[in-house]
Chain A
Amino acid sequence: MSSARSIAIAARLAAMFAIAALLVLSLLGYALDRELATVLRRQQIDQLDTKFQDIDYVLERLRGPEQWERIHAKLDALTPPDRSTQYWILSDDPQIRYGNALAEIVSFSQGASNVGELRIGDQPEPMLIRSAYLPANARHAALRFIVGIDSASYARTRRDFHSVLLASGSGGVLLFALIGYLITHWGLVPLKRLSREAHELSPSMLSQRLVVTHLPAELSDLAQSFNGALDRLEAAYEQLETFNADVTHELRTPLTNLIGQTQVALSRERSATELVEVLQSNLEDLERLRAMINDMLFLARANLGERPQQLLRTSLAAEVEKAVEFLDFLLEEASVSVRVQGDAKAPIGSSLFQRAVTNLLHNAIRHSPAGSEIVVEVAAGESQARVSVSNPGPAIPPEHLGRLFDRFYRVDTARTNSGESHGLGLAIVKAVAAMHAGSVFAASNGGITTVGFSVAIGA
C-alpha cells in the first residue's frame, strides 16, 4: 500500500514535470519559429535584392537596343533550371519584353516599385516578387523589370524546422517526465525505507523505534513525532501491564486469606462462635476487596475522561477545612496539628476535591511524627490553583517522588499489609486533579515532604 502511494507520488510529479517541460518547450519553439521566419524572410529579400541589383546594373549599362538580345541570353542563363528564380521584363517594345508575361504578373506590377508575394499558376508556394519601373530614356522605351524568387526552399526549411522541433520537443517532454519520475523515485527512497521500518514494528517489540539519523529534515520531523507517539504508547502499555500485575497481586493476598481461612474452618467441626469469627474475618477481607474494586473503578472512569457532574466555584480553603474537620479525631490521636494558609477560588466537584485532600492529609498524618504540624497551603496561580500539603517526615528519595502517584506504588517495597491503605490514595488524588484539568506534584526537601495537586481556575 505504501509503495503504491509513493509510486503515485512519483507518477504525479513526473506528469507535472512533463507539463512544465511542454509549456517551456512550446514557448521556446514558438519564439524560435518566429525568429527563424523573420531571418528567412530577410534572407529571401536579400537574395531578391541581390538578383535585382545585378539586373539593374546590367540595365544601367545598356547602351543600345542591339544589346537586348544579349540581355535576354544573360537572363536565360541566370534562370536556374528549376525556375526557382524568374525574370520578367514588361514593355510596350516587343524587342525588350522578356519572360512569360502572365496575367498575374501584369496585374501585380503596378506603381513605381514594389515587393510582394504572388502565387503563380499551380506552384505550391508563393513567389517573392520585386518589380521596378524604368521610364523611357534615350536608350530604351519605358519598361518594368521584375524578379521573382521561389520561397519553396524557405518553406521547406521551416517545415523541416517544425518537424525537428516537434520531435525534439516531444522527446524532451518524455525525457523530463522520465527524469522527474526517477528523481522523485530516488527522492522518495527514504520515505519507502521509513514505511518499511514502520511496517516491521510489532507489538512484541515495544521498544523498537524508527531510525531517525540519515533522514532528510522533512521526514526526520515526521519520524520523530511518530517515535514520540510510540513512546507514549509504550509508556501507556507498560503502565497497563504493571497495573494488571499489581491488581493481580493485590487481589491475591486477600483471596488467599479468604480461601485458606474458610478451608481451615470447614476442615472440622467448629463451634458457632468460631464460625462467626471466620465469617467476620472474611467479611473484613471482602470489604477491603470491595473498597479496592470501587477505587479502581473510580480510577478507570477518571482515566476514560469522566468529569465531575457539576462544578461549583468554591473557596478551596473552606473545602480543605471540611476535610480537616473530618480527620479531626485522627489528628488528635496522632497529636498532629494542621494549619491552612492562603485561599483560592476554583470550580470544583466538592466531594471529589475533599476526597483528594482527605487522602493527602491522611497520608501526611501517617508520616508525621507526634507533635508536628502539617501545613496546607492554597495558592492561586495564573490558570491553576495549587493545594499543597507539607509535613515533616523522612526524606523520600528522588526516584520515588515521581512514582508516588502510581497505583499501588509504595515507597517501602516491603508491603506493610496494614490493611489500612491499599496504595490507591495518591492515584486517586492524581485522578481528581486530572478531572479538574490539573496536575500533581511532590517534593522532599530538608525533612519536609510536600505533596499536592492543582485544579484549573477556569474562566
Chain B
Amino acid sequence: MKVLVVEDELKIADYLYKGLTEQGCSVDLAHDGLDARHLALEIDYDVIVLDQMLPGLDGLAVLQSLRAVKDTPVIMLTARDRIEDRVKGLRAGADDYLVKPFSFMELLARLQALTRRGRKHEATQIRVGDLVVDLLARKAFRDGSRIDLTAKEFALLSVLARHQGQILSKTAIAEMVWEVSFDTSANVVEVAIKRLRAKIDAPFHSGLLHTVRGMGYVLEERSAR
C-alpha cells in the first residue's frame, strides 16, 4: 500500500513513517502544504494521511487542489474537534477524519477500511490455524468439532477472523461488533474477548486469540515457542 503522510509535527511524522513502513506500506513524507500538493498530484497513492494545520498551504487547500484532479482516499488529522471543522473537511472531499490525540491502531484500522472499500467479495469461510469460521452458516469449528457461540460471540469472532493477523483496538472492535462509535469506560470488549477465549481457546492445546497489551487483540496462529 502506497501512503503519503502529510504532517508538520516531526515526531508524529516519524512514528507514522516507522509504524506504517513496518506494516508493509511504502510511505512518503511531506512536512508542508506545498510539498504535499506537489507529491499528491504527481504520484498515485493508495491513501493520503493529511494534517489539517500545515505551514505554507493548509490541509483543506491541499485537499481541494487534489480533489480537482483525482479521488485518492484522504484521511484528515485535526487537533480541533468542532463540528464545523469536521463538516468543512468532509465537504472539501475528505473520506475520513481523526481527532488528535488518536491512537495508531485506530489510524491503521481506518486506513485499511479506506483502501479495502474497493475490494470485491470476501471469502465465506475463514481459516485460522485449525479454527474454521463459516460466515454464511454462522458456525465455527475447531479441530473438527463445532463451537457453540452466541450471536454476539460469533459476530466478534468473525470480525477478528476477517482481520486475522491484525491487531484490532477495543474501539475498533466495539464499532464493528456493536456499532458503538463513542468512547466508554465500560470494559465490554475485554469481557467479550474473555468469554470468546474460554470457548475457542481454553478447551484446546494452543491459543489463537491473543491480547496485545495496551493495543488490542489479534486472532492468529502463533508457532509454539
A interface with B by C-beta (< 8 Å): 277, 279-284, 286-287, 289-291, 293-295, 297, 301, 306, 309, 325-330, 333, 351-352, 354-355, 358-359, 362, 420-422, 425
In the complex, the answer to whether B188 meets A354 with C-beta atoms within 8 Å is: no
Q: Report if B121 contacts A (CB, 8 A).
A: no
Taking each of B99, B101, B152, B192, which has the highest tally of chain A beta carbons within 10 Å of its own beta carbon?
B101
In the complex, the answer to whether A362 meets B214 with C-beta atoms within 8 Å is: no
Q: How far apart are the CA atoms of A333 and B178 in the complex, in Å? A: 18
In the complex, the answer to whether B213 meets A301 with C-beta atoms within 8 Å is: no
In the complex, the answer to whether A359 meets B184 with C-beta atoms within 8 Å is: yes
10 closest A-B pairs (Cβ-Cβ)?
A283-B214, A280-B213, A355-B182, A362-B186, A329-B191, A280-B214, A326-B178, A290-B101, A284-B214, A421-B185
Hey, which chain A residues are within 8 Å of B195, CB to CB?
Answer: 329
Q: Report if B202 contacts A (CB, 8 A).
A: no
Within 8 A of A (CB), among B151-198: 152, 174, 178, 180-188, 191-192, 195
Q: Report if B83 contacts A (CB, 8 A).
A: yes
Q: Report if B119 contacts A (CB, 8 A).
A: no
Please give me the residue from chain A that is nearest to B187 by CB atom.
A420
Q: How far apart are the CA atoms of A306 and B192 in the complex, in Å? A: 34
In the complex, the answer to whether B187 meets A294 with C-beta atoms within 8 Å is: no
Please give me the residue from chain A that is nearest to B179 by CB atom.
A322
Give per-residue flags for B101-138: 1 if the beta carbon is below 8 A from chain A beta carbons, else 0. 10100000000000000000000000000000000000
- Smallest beta-carbon distance A302→chain B, Å: 12
Ordered by A's residue number, 5 sampled pairs between the chains whose C-beta atoms are within 8 Å are A280-B214, A289-B101, A325-B178, A330-B186, A362-B186
In the complex, the answer to whether A301 meets B184 with C-beta atoms within 8 Å is: no
In the complex, the answer to whether A306 meets B83 with C-beta atoms within 8 Å is: yes
Q: Is the interface of A mostly helix, strand, loop or mixed?
A: helix
Q: Kindly list 17 other residue pairs between chains A and B, CB separation below 8 angstroms, not including A354-B180, A354-B182.
A: A280-B214, A281-B214, A283-B215, A290-B101, A290-B103, A294-B183, A301-B81, A325-B152, A325-B178, A326-B174, A329-B192, A329-B195, A333-B191, A355-B184, A358-B186, A420-B187, A425-B185
Hey, which chain A residues are within 8 Å of B225, CB to CB?
Answer: none
Taking each of A306, A327, A329, which has the highest tally of chain B beta carbons within 10 Å of its own beta carbon?
A329
In the complex, the answer to whether B184 meets A362 with C-beta atoms within 8 Å is: yes
Which of B82, B182, B184, B186 meets A306, CB within 8 Å?
B82
Q: How far apart are the CA atoms of A327 and B81 in the complex, in Å? A: 27
Which of A294, A306, A330, A422 meets B188, CB within 8 Å?
A330
Hey, which chain B residues are within 8 Å of A286, CB to CB?
Answer: 214
Hey, which chain A residues are within 8 Å of B187, CB to CB?
Answer: 330, 420
In the complex, the answer to whether A420 meets B185 with C-beta atoms within 8 Å is: yes
Hey, which chain B residues are within 8 Å of A362, CB to CB?
Answer: 184-186
- Smallest beta-carbon distance B224→chain A, Å: 18
Hey, which chain A residues are within 8 Å of B174, CB to CB?
Answer: 326
Number of A-B contacts (CB under 8 A): 73
- Smallest beta-carbon distance A426→chain B, Å: 11
Q: Is the interface of B mostly helix, strand, loop or mixed?
A: loop
Hey, which chain B residues are within 8 Å of A283, CB to CB?
Answer: 213-215
Q: How far apart are the CA atoms of A144 and B180 in the complex, in Å? A: 128
Hey, which chain A residues are within 8 Å of B81, CB to CB?
Answer: 297, 301
Q: How far apart are the CA atoms of A438 and B213 in the complex, in Å? A: 40
Please give me the residue from chain A that is nearest to B212 by CB atom.
A280
Within 8 A of A (CB), among B76-106: 81-83, 99, 101, 103
Q: How far apart are the CA atoms of A328 and B156 in the complex, in Å? A: 13
In the complex, the answer to whether A326 meets B180 with C-beta atoms within 8 Å is: yes
- Smallest beta-carbon distance B225→chain A, Å: 12
In the complex, the answer to whether A330 meets B191 with C-beta atoms within 8 Å is: yes
In the complex, the answer to whether A327 meets B101 with C-beta atoms within 8 Å is: no
Hey, which chain A residues are within 8 Å of B103, CB to CB?
Answer: 287, 290
- Smallest beta-carbon distance A141→chain B, Å: 120
Which of A294, A326, A422 meets B99, CB within 8 Å?
A294
In the complex, the answer to whether B188 meets A291 with C-beta atoms within 8 Å is: no
In the complex, the answer to whether A328 meets B152 with C-beta atoms within 8 Å is: yes
Given contacts A280-B213, A306-B82, contact A329 B185 (CB under 8 A): no
Taking each of B99, B101, B184, B191, which has the highest tally of chain A beta carbons within 10 Å of its own beta carbon?
B184
Please give me the residue from chain A that is nearest to B186 by CB atom.
A362
Hey, which chain B residues are within 8 Å of A277, CB to CB?
Answer: 213
Q: How far apart are the CA atoms of A291 and B103 in the complex, in Å? A: 10
Q: How far apart are the CA atoms of A279 and B187 in the complex, in Å? A: 21
Q: How far apart are the CA atoms of A420 and B170 in the complex, in Å? A: 14
Q: How far apart are the CA atoms of A283 and B184 in the complex, in Å? A: 18
Which of B82, B101, B180, B181 meets A293, CB within 8 Å?
B101
Which of B82, B188, B192 meets A301, CB within 8 Å?
B82
Within 8 A of A (CB), among B208-225: 213-215
Please give me the residue from chain A that is nearest to B106 by CB atom.
A290
Hey, which chain A residues are within 8 Å of B186, CB to CB?
Answer: 326-327, 330, 358, 362
Please give me the residue from chain B that is nearest to A308 by CB atom.
B83
- Smallest beta-carbon distance A364→chain B, Å: 11
Q: How far apart are the CA atoms of A333 and B187 in the complex, in Å? A: 11
Hey, which chain B residues are within 8 Å of A330, CB to CB?
Answer: 186-188, 191
Q: How far apart are the CA atoms of A291 and B182 in the complex, in Å? A: 11
- Smallest beta-carbon distance B179→chain A, Å: 8
Q: How far apart are the CA atoms of A289 and B99 in the complex, in Å? A: 14
Hey, which chain A residues are within 8 Å of B185, CB to CB?
Answer: 291, 359, 362, 420-422, 425
- Smallest beta-carbon distance B11→chain A, Å: 14
- Smallest beta-carbon distance B154→chain A, Å: 13
Q: How far apart are the CA atoms of A272 and B185 in the complex, in Å? A: 31
